[in-house]
Chains A and B, each alone.
Chain A
Amino acid sequence: MGRWSTAARTPLGLTAAVLAGSVLGLAVLAPVVWGTSADAVDTGSILSPPSGEHWAGTDNLGRDILARTLVATRLSVLLALAATAIAVLAGLVLGTAPFLLGRRLGRVVTAAVNIAVAFPGLLLALFFATIFGVGATGAVFAIGLAGAPAFARLTQTLVAGVAARDYVAAARVAGVGRLRVLLRHVLPNISEPLVVNATVGTGAALLSFAGLSFLGLGVQQPGYDWGRLLYDGIGAIYVNPAAALTPGAAVLVAGLAFNLVGETVAKALGVGGVARRPGRAPRAVPGLAPVAADEAPRAVGDDLVLDVRDLEVTVPGARGPVRPVRGVTFSVRRGEALGVVGESGSGKSLTALAVSRLAGDLARVEAGRLTLLGTDLTEADGRAHRRLLGTSLAMVFQDPTTSFNPTRRVGAQLAEGARHHQGLGRAEALARAVDRLGAVRIPEPERRARQYPHEFSGGMRQRAMIGMGLMGSPSLVVADEPTTALDVTVQQQVLDLLADVRAADDVALVLISHDVAVVRSVCDRVVVMYAGRIVEDLPAASLDDDARHPYTRALVAAVPDMDTDLEAALPVIPGTPADPGALPPGCAYAPRCPLASARCVEEDPSLVSDDTGHRVACWHADGPAEAATTAAPGEVGVP
């Protein structure tokens, strides 16, 4: 798999591979190669210091310590692996028990595990060592069982996470028994973190063994592992320090090897370990077509709040850079409400983020012109820009839960920005926050300001978010799917609020949504995006009857409303949205367009404006409206 070789090529991965390879190689080969020399008694040189013959000196029977250390690799590693196996097994049983046993019994197991985890591991090990007796077997069980609670807790947490997913619910509804659900759905989906932790656990077990043997509770004579060697070596530390240092170093190196392997595996899995949603993940682009400049929009006036020309956003993809926004040109006037619609992945959000300089470090934003209130934002980013953006532009995101810091009071969070950007004092800022919460119609704003975000309902949080944007005196509010995560009735309240804010202070609004109905009810003008470009820019009132781009018409037709014909099938848009990583040479909509002609496939139409300012990018924009949408009830292979 690609990600493994990639991971192995990082410095970390390389070190891990080399170290682990050597340790395992030694475990296999050392007893064969040095087995005899490790046991060769040489009464002539007892407890001798390092020499040319014995690099690490000899022990009290004159045996070569280096050879013994190398040979001990096998036993040490085997013991560590055995202990880990016990820990993993016991941990899995305990960790999955709550899932299998159901609510009540599960709670008992969970409580027991939590108590066991709080117990010091070494103490547990000592306890088990006295039960199982002094020796290798006792030590394996002791260390294994002492490691089990931590592993059980990890398993429990992971299982609980997966058990909450809908596919587990679906399997149970399908009549699949709990054990089978566990084996088929839960364990495979948590195996990766478990493997990582088991690997790291092996390193820890190795150290524990050294500890136990060192206390004399581990491997007994004549057997020896690193801990035993360490124990024997310490006795002679003043005569020959190497006798203790050599096995000590071996323990460290091997422990490090296991830990690094664990870390490498974790890193490799972290990348692409979870399935991503299509369209939201960066895709590859074989070659970028030159971006045709959109024709300039209508008259440029002084009342322009936002003016964007030829905006391009490039992001790194798996196979080279991808350009999800390709030459977008639009402007917003004071007090105007502009809607941006398009399917998932059409570049709506990225356009908004680029405008507000929030696209992130990975995205490269280029624009022929990008001005907010006449200030050029493409020039070097500075304090002045941040201030301008902080006070003149308000962003409202889809998910109000993630927009607030859960650990701080709402009022303080609103006040923070104002203190920062407007230089208000603490009390002043807080008073303004309360005032703004009231302005977004949050009842009892004084009390609410002292509450934490989780005490707000979703709709209230979204209103508070808008209130935060109103702390300054914004000239532009950019709202990206502000109502998608909300309840219908609350949705309307938030849309109404946005409309009010706009009307009260002549604030411009950019409202992004995939739902034409939402945009139509709030906005004056709508731009329709497809595959990173604007394909149509028209008055909202024209959406129903005067849309000229086949994609716009299809989007409008696709949404059922309260007047939809109940006898007919809903019109659908065949095919899937264009992949920004693999765009066709001609019109990006051609593969899905019922009007597509040979020209469409070869040549990308540019955005042209008529004298009313209605812009459209389509070779057949004057084609018959009926032909542009397809009502296809039994179509095969549509999205």
Chain B
Amino acid sequence: MNGLVFEDVRVGFGATTAVDGVSLAVPPGAVVGLVGGSGSGKSTLARAAVGLTPFTGRITLDGEPVPTRGTYRPVQMVFQDPYSSLDPRMSIGDSVSEPMPRSMPRTGRHAEVARLLELVHLDPARAAARPADLSGGQRQRVALARALAARPRVVIADEITSALDVSIQGAVLNLVRELQAELGLSMLFISHNLALVRYVASHVAVMHAGRLVEEGPTHRVLADPEHDYTRQLLAAVPRGDRPSRSHR
């Protein structure tokens, strides 16, 4: 099977099972949204895919196990909190060039860093800046550029806007859609916000208590949810047209 495929993936921590037999596919070029409450196992599943957590079951990319050793890492991840995902001592240029092959010559690296920063709409002249000089949204752009530097085939975005102000969130989401359209990236877009997932993902998978409870095209799942938990999630989305409620 093509793309990133999870087959019966299980992750346990001591007595608790964080991910309980999840099977899910991220087809090439697609954005799959993964929604669920906190503690439902979304991030754990993501960390298993990039080799940060041991698991049982199979995680494959185009039929081969996802490499989690060595320097070629075709599955990249962008983390939730841009305030802790960039080394505070490293210039953003150095952070972005980190995943590039070490054999790459210095000038090639510089050019590549500049290209990537431009791709995420940051001024390449700021490559020497430290994370402390950047706003949250700018940091998240750097984190995206770093993930792209590895020339990944799949990017996992784990709640990448939830640490950001709503005013910045829009710009990051626009960027995600733009990169996806331009580069044809496959993405697993993890979020607890259904409105965001609706905006960026063509498919959506719903996790609850470590299990996948529903999966399908976004418009179908949102319009006609099959599982109770999906309905609960939908009911929890604050809506503009909802009347002000002074009591229930």
CB distance from A577 to the nearest CB of B (A): 8
Is A540 on the interface with B (CB-CB < 8 A)? Answer: yes
Majority SS of interface residues in chain B? loop
Please tell me if the beta carbons of A173 and B199 are within 8 angstroms of each other in the complex.
no
**Closest A residue to B87 using CB positions:** A167
0/1 string, B69-107, CB within 8 A of A gives 1: 011110111011101111111100001001100000000
B236's partner among A185, A492, A639 (CB-CB below 8 A) is A492
Residues 503-521 of chain A: 1 if any B CB is under 8 Å from the residue's CB, otherwise 0? 1000000000011111011
Is A499 touching B138 in the complex (CB atoms < 8 A)? no
Chain B neighbourhood of A499, CB < 8 A: 245-248
Q: Which of A166, A499, A523 has the most CB of B within 10 A?
A: A166
Q: Is B135 among interface residues, defined by CB-CB distance under 8 A?
A: yes
CB of A399 to closest CB in B, whole Å? 13
Interface pair A560/B170, CB less than 8 Å apart: yes
B167–A562 touching, CB < 8 Å: no
Cβ contact within 8 Å between B170 and A490: no
Interface membership of A393, Cβ < 8 A: no
Q: Which residue of chain A has its CB nearest to the CB of B118?
A: A636
Report yes or no: A521 in contact with B136, Cβ–Cβ below 8 A.
Answer: no
Q: Chain A nearest CB: distance from B174 CB in Å?
A: 5
Please encode chain A, from 364 to 395, with 1 for each CB lying within 8 Å of some chain B CB and 0 for all others: 00000000000000000000000000000000
Q: How far is the CA of A408 from the CA of B137 in the complex (A)?
A: 39
Q: Pick out which of these stretches binds chain A: B15-23, B56-64, B190-198.
A: B190-198
Given the interface pairs A166-B85, A560-B196, A569-B177, the reply to whether A637 lies near B121 with Cβ below 8 Å is yes
B37:A572 contact, CB within 8 angstroms: no
B123 interface residue (CB < 8 Å to A) = yes
> What string of 1s and 0s marks CB contacts (under 8 Å) between B21-64 and chain A?
00000000000000001110000000100111000000000000
Instruction: Please indicate the chain A residues that have their CB under 8 angstroms from the CB of B39 in the complex.
Output: 487
Q: Is the CB of B73 within 8 A of A570?
A: no
CA gap between A636 and B120 in the complex, in Å: 9
Is B143 an interface residue, CB under 8 A from the partner? yes
B52:A562 contact, CB within 8 angstroms: no
Q: Contact partner of A185 among B38, B87, B235, CB < 8 A? A: B87
| Contact among A343, A488, A496, A561 for B233, CB-based, below 8 A | A488
Q: Which of A185, A276, A496, A524 has the most CB of B within 10 A?
A: A185
Query: Which residues of chain A come closer than 8 Å to B248, judged between CB atoms?
Result: 496, 499-500, 503
Task: Determine the residue in chain A with the shortest Cβ distance to B54.
Answer: A103
Bound Cα distance from A486 to B166, whole angstroms: 16
Interchain CB contact under 8 A, A276 and B132 = yes
CB atoms of B84 and A561 under 8 A apart: no
- Bound together, the chains give a CA A486 to CA B162 distance in angstroms of 11
Q: Is A516's CB under 8 angstroms from B166's CB?
A: yes
Pick the contact of A173: B73, B84, B88 (CB < 8 A): B73
Complex Cα gap A277–B131 (Å) = 10
Establish whether residues A173 and B240, one from each chain, have CB atoms under 8 Å apart when the complex forms: no
Q: Which residue among A167, A523, A554 has the maximum number of chain B CB atoms within 10 Å of its CB?
A: A167
B171 within 8 A of A: yes
Q: Which of A568-587 contact B (CB under 8 A)?
A: 569-573, 576-577
Q: Which residues of A lie under 8 Å from residue B76 when comparing CB positions?
A: 173-174
Chain A residues whose CB sits within 8 angstroms of the CB of B137 once the complex forms: 638-639
* Interface bits B126-146 vs A (CB < 8 Å: 1, else 0): 000011101111100001001
B111 is an interface residue with CB less than 8 A from chain A: no
In whole angstroms, what is the CA distance A43 to B171 when docked?
88
Bound: A624/B246 CA distance, A: 32
Docked-complex contact A561 and B52, CB < 8 angstroms: no
Structural contact, B240 and A520, CB atoms closer than 8 A: yes
Tell whether, in the assembled complex, residue A639 and residue B167 are in contact, meaning their CB atoms are under 8 Å apart.
Answer: yes
Q: B52 near A172 (CB under 8 angstroms)? A: yes
Complex: chain A residue closest to B78, CB-CB: A170
Measured as residues with beta carbon below 8 angstroms from the partner, the interface class of chain A is 35 or more
Number of A-B contacts defined by CB within 8 Å: 214
Contact B237 A489 (CB under 8 A): no
**Inside 8 A of B83's CB, which chain A residues have their CB?**
275, 277
User: Taking the complex as formed, is A331 at the interface, i.e. its CB lies under 8 A from any CB of chain B?
Assistant: no
Q: Which chain B residues border A173 with CB–CB below 8 Å?
A: 50-52, 73, 75-77
CB <8 Å contact, A558 and B178: no
Whether the pair B88, A189 counts as a contact (CB closer than 8 A) is yes
B38 A458 Cβ-Cβ under 8 A: yes
Please name the residue on chain A nearest to B134 by beta carbon: A278
Interface residues of A in 132-185 (CB under 8 A from B): 165-167, 169-176, 184-185
Q: Are A634 and B193 in contact (CB under 8 A)?
A: no
Give the distance in Å from the alpha carbon of A540 to the alpha carbon of B199 in the complex: 25
A176 touches B199 (CB 8 A): no
Evaluate contact between B174 and A633: CB separation under 8 angstroms. yes
Check A564–B70 contact: CB distance below 8 A.
Answer: no
B213 within 8 Å of A (CB atoms) = no
The answer to whether B38 touches A175, judged by C-beta atoms less than 8 angstroms apart, is no
Known: A503-B247, A523-B244, A560-B195. A171 touches B98 (CB 8 A): yes
Taking the closest CB of chain B, its distance from the CB of A485, in whole angstroms, is 9
The reply to whether B240 and A544 form a contact with Cβ atoms under 8 Å apart is: yes
Partner of A573, one of B38, B143, B167, B177: B167
Smallest CB–CB gap between B32 and chain A, Å?
16
Chain A residues with CB below 8 A from B192, complex form: 487-488
**B143 nearest CB across to chain A (Å):** 7
Say yes or no for A563: interface residue by CB 8 A criterion. yes
Q: Are A561 and B237 in contact (CB under 8 A)?
A: yes
Q: Find out whether the CB atom of B239 lies under 8 angstroms from the CB atom of A521.
A: yes
Contact A570/B168 with A174-B146, A277-B136 known, Cβ cut-off 8 Å: no
Contacts of B108 in A (CB 8 A): none
| Alpha-carbon separation in the docked complex, A171 to B88 (Å) | 13
For the complex, is B150 an interface residue (Cβ under 8 Å from A)? Answer: yes
CB–CB A633/B167 < 8 A = no
| Distance, CA A518 to CA B240, complexed state (A) | 9
Q: How far is the CA of A576 from the CA of B115 in the complex (A)?
A: 23
In the complex, the answer to whether B73 meets A175 with C-beta atoms within 8 Å is: yes
Considering the complex, give the chain B residue whose CB is closest to the CB of A557: B170
Q: Are A491 and B236 in contact (CB under 8 A)?
A: yes
CB distance from B194 to the nearest CB of A (A): 7
Q: How far is the CA of A276 from the CA of B133 in the complex (A)?
A: 10
A337 interface hit (Cβ, 8 Å): yes
Q: Is the CB of A639 within 8 A of B85?
A: no
Known contacts A277-B83, A554-B167; 9 further A-B pairs (Cβ under 8 A): A169-B85, A170-B146, A184-B90, A188-B89, A279-B135, A503-B248, A521-B238, A555-B167, A633-B174
A-B CB contact pairs (8 Å), 27 listed: A169-B85, A174-B98, A174-B150, A175-B73, A175-B150, A184-B87, A189-B88, A278-B132, A278-B136, A337-B246, A488-B233, A488-B236, A499-B246, A503-B246, A503-B247, A517-B238, A521-B244, A559-B166, A559-B169, A560-B173, A562-B222, A566-B199, A569-B177, A570-B171, A570-B199, A636-B123, A638-B121
- In the complex, the 4 A-B pairs of residues with the closest C-beta atoms, listed nearest first: A174-B99, A503-B247, A166-B85, A639-B137
Chain A interface (Cβ < 8 Å from any Cβ of B): 165-167, 169-176, 184-185, 188-189, 274-279, 335, 337, 343-344, 458, 486-492, 496, 499-500, 502-503, 514-518, 520-524, 540-541, 543-544, 554-555, 558-564, 566, 569-573, 576-577, 633-639
